[in-house]
Structures are given as C-alpha cells and as structure tokens.
Structure 1
Amino acid sequence: MGWNYGDILDAVARVVPADRPALIWGDDVVTWAAFDRRTNNLARRMIEHGLAPDDRVAVLCRNHPAYIEATVAALKSRTVSVNVNYRYTADEIVYVLEDCGASALFYQDSLDATIAELKARLPGVRLWIRIESDRQVRAAAAGEQSFEAWAQAGEGAPLDIQRSPDDSYLLYTGGTTGRPKGVLWRTGDARKVQLESPLIAKRPADLAEHSAMVRDNPAPSRTIPACPLMHGAGSNAVIGELMAGGGAVLLPSDRFDADELWREVERTGVTRIAIVGDVFARPMLRALEAAPGRYDLSSLKVISSAGLIWSGEVKAGLLAHLPKVTLVDILGASEASGFGYSVATADNVPATGVFAAGAKTVLIDPDTGAVLPKGAAGEGLLARTEPVAAGYYRDPAKTAETYRMIDGVRYAVPGDFARLGADGQLTLIGRGNLSINTGGEKVFPEEVEEALKLQPGVEDALVVGEPDPTWGKSIVAIVKSTPAFDEAAVRAGLQKTLAGYKLPRRFLHVDLVPRHESGKADYRTAQALITKQEPVEHL
C-alpha cells in the first residue's frame, strides 16, 4: 500500500460530517467542509500560477489556521512544503529559501517588514502569497497574492490529479549546532512511521479501510499543539489528527501560556496535547499546582511529547493532577522517528530517558560501524531501519553520513548514543556531536542537564564545555534558578548520581536559558554566552 497525505485528506473529507470542526482558533472555527473547500481552492490556485510537482513552497507563519491550510494545499498540489522559523532574521530566512530553492512563499502579514527586504534578495521566489491574520480579503499589492482571496474563490472541488507515495515535504531543523538542514520526507514513508505509534489500536491496510474506520468513528480526537507549527512536532501532530478525521485547536496567543492551554482544553473538549518535553510540561504542571481543580480537564486522554527530554518527576507531577491521562514520550529526530516509546500512567512512570525500543531499532558500534546483535545488551549509536527520511536536501555527503548502508540494509543514524539493557529497555545517553571531552572522558550534556534539573532551586539548565588548560574542556552549567538554589547543596546532590568528571566546574546564572522557540537547546547561543562572561555568581 502506497500512502499519500493528499489522497488521505481527500478521502477523509468525503466521509466526516461536514460541520465537524477541523480547525479552531479562538472564535474562528473552520469546519471540515470549509477546510476541504479552502485547501482545494488554494491548491488549484498554486497550480494555475505555474507551481509544478516538486516545486518548493515555503510557509512563514505563526500558529494560525493558514499555516495548516497552506501546508495541506501544498500536499494536495504535489508541491513540497517547507517550514520556516518566523523567529529567524532576514539573513537566516534567505539562507533557508535559497538552500531549498523555494519558488513560492506563504507569509503572514505581521512579517511585512521582513518581507520587504526579502523580495529584493530572493529573485528565485516567483510567488509571494500574503496571509491576512484577521482572515479578511485585502487587495494585494504589486507582486503579491492574497491568501484569503485564493482560499475563498472557487467551488473547492477536489483536484483531478494522480499523486504518489513519493510526494514529499521538507522539514528544516535548526538542530543544536550549525546551519539549518532540510530533511526530505516522502509522505508514504512518513505515514508508515505514524502507523507504528503505540496509540494506534488498529492499523488500516489501505485507504479504503482507513476511510471506513474514520467514517465509523463517532468520537474522533481533538489535538492542541502547544509547540509551534513551524517545528515538526507541532505540524506533524495536527496533520496526523486531521488524517484521522479529527480536529486541532490552536492557542490564540503567539507565546505559550500554560493557563491559556488548560482553558482551551476545557473550552473545546481537547483529547490530546502535543508538547516538546519539559520546557512545556513544567509550566503546565506549575499552573495545575497553583490552582488544583480550577479546570475541567475530563476530556483529556493523552499528552504526547517528541524531540526533547521529558523528565520522570514532571510526568509524575502531571499524573497526580491527571490520573486518567496517558503520557507518551516518543524518541525520535527529524531524520527518523519511532526509535522508542515511553508510556507513563498513574500506576507506572518510567525513569527519565528510558524507552521501550521500537521494532526497527538497533544499536551500532561507533568504532567498527557494525550493527550490534538485535536485543543484545550494550551501548552504541541509536539507529533504525526503513521507513526513514529520504535524506538531507541537496547534501549527499551529510546524507551518506547519517543514512548508512550496512550489509545491504539502510539505517538512519542521527548521532544519539543509547544503552540497551538486558530487559530490552533503551536508555538515552546523549548526542555524540555535543559530547564534551574533559580529561579524556566523554560527557554528554543531556545527562548532566537532567541531573541538574532534579536539584532544588534549578528550574532549567544547559551544559556546555569551555577551554581548560588542564583538562582540555571543563563543564559549565548555565542555569535558571530560584531563591532555593544553593550551590553546595546542588553539588552534593549531583555527586550522588554523576561521576566526578561530569560535575560542573562553574555555574552561570541567567534569567532565561538559551532555547529555540520549540524548546530545544540553543547550544550556539549558550557557547557564546560563556565565552563573553567572566565567572560570576549571578547575572
């Protein structure tokens, strides 16, 4: 069976109730009938304006219904959607659009000032489609198209085109170091990975069976992506929900507010929340602790996370307030997903960073490059067999490094180290390219960071290395602390779980730990921060 996202969305629109909400954004409700009509209109306009299969179409927009509509229109028109971080500077946006060879850009009107500069620097972008934030048609300026005019004009009939499982989308990831990289995913492969999820009780064999399952489901899920749609965790959660015939609720505010999240869960009957680790989970827990019982959260069934460590103590705290909810922690990366799953309930909270290995997951010996025997205890590079992403766009060298052929089998090896125990459980150790060599010993920042966040008075932390004349590199902890922080007590606590060479040589206190909008660590900024600062007690 060859899956295609556009075909799935077309099929779902034919069987769900027309008045079922597909997207909710404050008081703005887009029904499934309207969603299907608008995305078909957009896709048709894209083709009429000369966009062809495989042309790259970038989306520069905050969490707004138009982000999803533009992405789905690209899927339906067989063009390749490209996510762009709205927090990027003009130079960074130019880099991504030139790197992917974008032919068109959907952009939100709140970014008009940036767009004025981009137009002169990006002659390869033929179409500039301006998204009206208030959903009202505006007369387009010279050289621009109106998103709302495109979406509203036309009968919205499905496109009469033949699609393919090879139809793709590009997922640009800023990562933790270096320039953003575009990871190319075929929709057929991405769908197969989605169907590996432990949340799926029955896996359809083909599109006809999938449509029947959607048609016969009277109570589909409704998801809130707490994280930005411009990151894979957010957009994948919404597209996956829509392909199941459900709907998505977008938070009205541009910046994450945990109380707003809980209000929207109560108001709209959300069943699932998608987050990115502790950066979102901790404020969610604080809001519940500040006002126990304030919100009716009885509709909520699942909170899922991907892309960042979600600590056991935060999971336990959430479950104390939400004992009927299941917490699903997904071990994955932009390059491949489904390496492992950690499922927490009120009766069982796995330790931080411990996952049940996925069926296609293996470990690779970093010295020999050989695949370790399936199920054998040991340490190595985390890897999995296909389906995985096709590779890095226009970067064959990086693709060959990450996607390795071993004994005729293709593996995705993003660079994370893990330990497999005799019980079959995976423990994530850390990312190899971030490891700090101190005195000949390798230290993974993530391990020290998680130990730090367990200490009293530490609200958030990043760990980096700085040059040291004796040890080569020494460990620096950048922490956001509370008045309860006591360095001696923190050091004593760390010594109980970490070897001496892993302990921070010094602490740098900041008001905000450097992180990207998704919650992922911004190690480049962190590294720059420690080089500019002398050792101090507090900033």
Structure 2
Amino acid sequence: MAFNLADLFETVADAVPDRVALVSGEDRLTYAELDDRADRAAAALAAAGVGTGDRVAILSVNRAEWLETQIAAYKLRAVPVNVNYRYTAGELAHVIADAGCAALVGERSLVARLGPARAGLTDLRSVFVLEDGTDEEVPDALSYADAVAAAPSGRVARERSGDDLYLLYTGGTTGLPKGVMWRSEDIFFAAMGGGNMLGEPVTSLEELAANAVAGGLSVMVNAPLMHGAGMWVAWATLTGGSKLVLWSRTSFSAEGVLEVAAREEVQALVLVGDAMARPIADALEAGDFSLPNLFAITTGGSVTSPDVKARLHASLPGLAVLLDAVGGSETGVAGQAVPPGPDGTPRFLLKPDSAVLDADLQPVKPGSDEIGVFARSGRLPLGYWKDQAKTDATFVTAPDGTRWALQGDMAKVDAEGHLVLLGRGSTVVNTGGEKVFVEEVEAALKSHPAVYDALVVGAPDERLGSRVAAVVSLTEDVSAETLRAHCRERIAGYKVPRDVLVVDEVRRTPSGKADYGWARKTVTPSS
C-alpha cells in the first residue's frame, strides 16, 4: 500500500471530523474545517496554474495558513517549499529560485522584503499575501484570505502516490540552503511517527483511521514549521488524530508558551534543546503554572542539558517522559537520548537502521573509541535537489550494498552500544594537530551550574593554528579560570578553552541550533 501525505491527512479528517485539529493564535479549527480550508486553498492555487510537481513556497511564521497551504499543495500533488522567514532578500530569492517555485504564499512584510530581488524570480507566476498587520506594498499580489474564501469547497480529484515529492530546505552549517528530496511515504515513516507516535507504525489507512479514533493527545509545537523538527511533529500530531497547538508569535516567550499550554491542557510539549527548555525551567520556577496534563517533553535540533532536565522534572511532578531526539534532514528521526556519560557528553540509543561508520563504511566497534560518522540506512531521501555532487557525497553505498545517509556528525559508540555525539566535522577545531569536537567541550562547560549556555569555536592562533575558544552566558558571576578548571576534570587538557568570553546571550538560530558563525565573529571580531 502506498502512503501519501494528502491521503493520510484526509483519512484522519474523515475519521474524526469534529475533533479539534489545530489551535494557532485566535484560529481554532476542527479536522473538517482544516480539511475544507486546505481544499479551498488547493482550488485557489490550481486556479493560479499550480499543478502536479509545481513548487509552492511558504514564507511565514507559525500560523494556520502555513499548514493549510502545505496540505493544499500535497492535495494537488504539488511540492510545498519551506522558506526561512529570517533570511535576507538574497537568501529568500536563492531558495525560491533554486526550487523554481511557481507560487509563493507569504506574509506581507516578508514578501515585501524580497524587494527588487523578486524581479529575478522568473519561474514565480503567482504571489498570495497573508496579512500580518503591516502595510508594505506587494505589487501584483493576490489576497490569500480572499482567494480561499472565493474558492469552491470539495476535495481535489487527484490519483496520488507514495512517490510524490516531499522537499525540505535546510541551511546546514555551511554554504547556501539546499533542498533534501524524500518520497512522501518514506518521510512519513522515517520522521513523522508513521501514524502512531506511541507505538508501531501503521500498515494501512484503515489502521490509521482506527488509531485516530482511539487516540487524541494535545501536542504543542514551539519550533518553527519552516524547520524539519517542528514540521515533522506537526504531521505526526495531525496524522494521529491529535490536537496540534502552535506557538504562533514571532519571538519565543517561555511564560507565553506555558500560558497557552495550560489553557489548552497540553499533554506533550515540543521544544528545541536548551534554547527553549532552559527559559521554560526558569519560568516554571518563578511563576505559578498549572499543567496537570503535561506528561511528556521532547526536544529536537539540539540536546537539553542534564541540569535543565532535572529542573523540569522537579517543577513538573507529572512529567513522565523527557527526551531528546537525534536525526536530521537527511536521516529523519534516528534515535533518542539516554543519560549522558560522566563528562556530560550526549549519548543516544540508536534505531536498528542507524550506525557510526568508519572510512570504509563499516560500523565502528562499540567501546573502541574509534571516531566515525553518524549514518542511517533504510528509508532515506532520494538526494539533494539539483545537486548530484552533494547527493553522491552524502548518500553512499557500502560494499555489502547497503545505502547510507551520512549526516555529517562525528561520533563514536560506547561499550554499551550508545551513540556518543562529538560534533559536526565542519566545526572541529584543529589545535596543534589535535582534533577537538566542540559539542564535547560545550557539554563540559554546560555541566557547570553557573553556565546558562555555551558555544565553542576555533580562534586563530600563531603557534597552534587554532585554539579552543568559548562564548558563554552565565546565571551568576564565575571566573574563566574556574570554568577551565571545571572542564579539566572532565575533558583532556588540550580541549579546555583557552579563551572564555562572557556575553549577555549566546545567539542561536530560530530553530535553536548553534550559530557558530556569530560565535567565531564574537571571539575574533576582525575576522
């Protein structure tokens, strides 16, 4: 049986039409209402010439129209394209042009940001504007609200396939954003829960419908839908017949999130590592929030420090599950966290189709301390959009015929068989001939109770080539030497930061990932 994302959503909508599907700001839609709005959006896109295989860019913060447009595109067998709303005009234009988008649905202020760059988007035929309270002029644009209101209701007639394309643009750690191509069926099972977040994946649409009728959690996603972590959990929620609650403001507010979570009786909270979890812990300790239904917190995109997890458990007695997931745009969800090692380094329990591979694409021996690259087999992307060279470098075939996706994270496997993440190969600091994996140093720093957040990079050094440097934010005054002494108890001396720069706030991307470019400029302002 083929599994198509539009078919999956429609199956659930038919099974639980009156159940609340989506809460986003003032919008509150049942499954039937969300399905109808997506049908109307599909009709509006079709009237603008969007058809099978056409790409539709979505440029917006979290809001109901983001998901309406995505579902609408899948109904048409078109390909929605996630666009990072924090991008500059040139970066926005790159993604829209690279994907060859025929249509764009975006917030007025964000579409206006394109400015003159829009003239170079020769494939872009239609622009639909979402009102966001601003009055910037967007020439030759249609009102999304008016177009959807005027469009006919009723399902779009399409014979869909599990091969229909799912395209996820990812910024990665270096270079321009690139599109990762998946079959829709493969991404559903590799990253979206397979129709059953709490158990075995479904094997039929009938089983999906039955699970939806029997289920019904309340899940709050705080990560942006424009990133895989937020998007995947949103789809896992909607294909499970659960209520999806979105954090829909442009900036994160821990107090605001907890207020919404309490009002909506949220049972599962989805965060992005310390960037969101630490402020949530602060707010819980400082405020009076009643969250009796909350039993699970999951994070993706970045790990959560052990001290933060302990504080969350202390503030939320009913919290039964608190875990980090490991994976990426090229691998899907590939494992979940277990307690860290003695030095605080994150460790993960891998899924059976994941491994750490050596240079010959063979799994490294557990407990050997051999460093390899984290990889996954099984359901994998087709490759990168219009980039065969990157496809060949990332998606490789071992001598035994197994196809692997190499995510780029360097890692080893401990004696218990757990994945020990060391950091991206692109962020390794080579200091005096020794390789230092920055995430290992960051974990050691963040295990000190005074360190709120930390990033580690290489700084130019005349003698060593590069020296280890750290940018940290603190909860209380503590000397750089105290932090270095703390690290020396946990990691080798050559890994201890020679430079420790204290800042008010460690900058991260909107998805909570490390902004190493900012950190490098901070430690070496002239670079």
The within-5 A match list for 1:68-467 is: 68-133=67-132, 143-193=140-190, 194-195=192-193, 199-217=197-215, 220-291=216-287, 294-325=288-319, 326-342=321-337, 352-366=345-359, 368-372=360-364, 378-407=370-399, 408-467=401-460
Q: CA RMSD in A?
A: 2.5
Q: What displacement does 1:483 show?
A: 3.8
Over 3 Å counting, the alpha-carbon distance change for 1:32 and 1:134 in structure 2 is farther
Distance 2:388 2:164 in 1: 20
- Retained in 1: the 8 A contact 2:353–2:377? yes
Inter-CA distance 163–196: structure 2 relative to 1 (3 Å threshold):
closer
1:527 Cα offset (Å)? 1.9
Aligned to 1:4: 4
Aligned to 1:537: none
Aligned equivalent of 2:52: 53
Q: Which residue of 1 aligns with 2:520?
A: 527
Worse overlay, 61-70 or 202-211: 202-211
Higher mean alpha-carbon deviation, 331-340 vs 275-284, is at 331-340
Q: Secondary structure at the match of 2:332?
A: coil
List per-residue Cα deviations over 1:24-67 (Å, max 9, x = no partner): 12332122221110101111222232212221111100111111
Q: Percent identity?
A: 38
Structure 1 segments unaligned to the other structure (5+ residues): 535-539
Map 1:489-508; keep pairs closer than 5 Å: 489-508=482-501
Say whether the 8 Å CA contact 1:460–1:481 is kept in structure 2.
yes
Matched positions, count: 522
Q: 1:461 to 1:197 in 2, by over 3 A?
A: farther
The one-letter amino acid paired with 1:323 is P
Q: Shift of residue 350 of structure 1?
A: 12
Which stretch of the first structure deviates more once superposed, 407-416 or 153-162?
153-162
SS at match of 2:291: coil
Given that 2:4 and 2:161 are in contact with CA atoms closer than 8 Å, whether structure 1 keeps it comes out as: yes
The separation in 2 between residues aligned to 1:447 and 1:350, in whole angstroms, is 8
Secondary structure of the structure 2 residue equivalent to 1:415: strand
CA distance in 2 between counterparts of 1:134 and 1:516 reads: 25
Secondary structure in 1 aligned to 2:328? coil
CA change 1:378–1:237 in 2 (3 A) is same
Instruction: Tell me the CA shift for residue 199 of structure 1.
Output: 4.4
Question: Does the aligned pair in 1 maintain the 2:364–2:413 contact within 8 Å?
Answer: no
SS in 1 for 2:333: coil
Q: Report the CA distance between 1:378 and its aligned residue.
A: 4.9
Secondary structure of 2:102's aligned partner: strand
What is the one-letter code of the residue matched to 1:102?
A: C
- SS, match of residue 339 in structure 1: strand
8 A contact 1:312–1:352 mirrored in 2: no
Alpha-carbon deviations, 1:409-456, whole Å to 9, x = none? 110111112222232222212212211111111101111112111224
Unaligned 5+ residue runs, structure 2? none
Decide whether the 8 Å contact of 1:233 with 1:306 is kept in 2: yes
CA contact (8 A) 1:169 1:185 kept: yes
Query: Once the two structures are superposed, what CA deviation does each residue of 1:271-295 show, in whole Å capped at 9, x if it has no partner?
Result: 111111111110010111113xx11
Q: TM-score, normalised by structure 2?
A: 0.93
Q: Secondary structure at the match of 1:159?
A: coil
Residue 44 of structure 2 contacts residue 151 of structure 2 at CA under 8 Å; is this kept in 1?
no
- TM-score of the pair, normalised by structure 1: 0.91
Q: Which moved more, 1:153-162 or 1:486-495?
A: 153-162
Per-residue CA deviation, residues 203-235 of structure 1 (Å, 9 max, x unaligned), is 321111111221233xx0122111212111112
Per-residue CA deviations over 1:39-98 (Å, capped at 9, x if unaligned) read: 011112222322122211111001111111111111211111111111111011111111
Give the deviation of 1:369 after TM superposition.
3.5
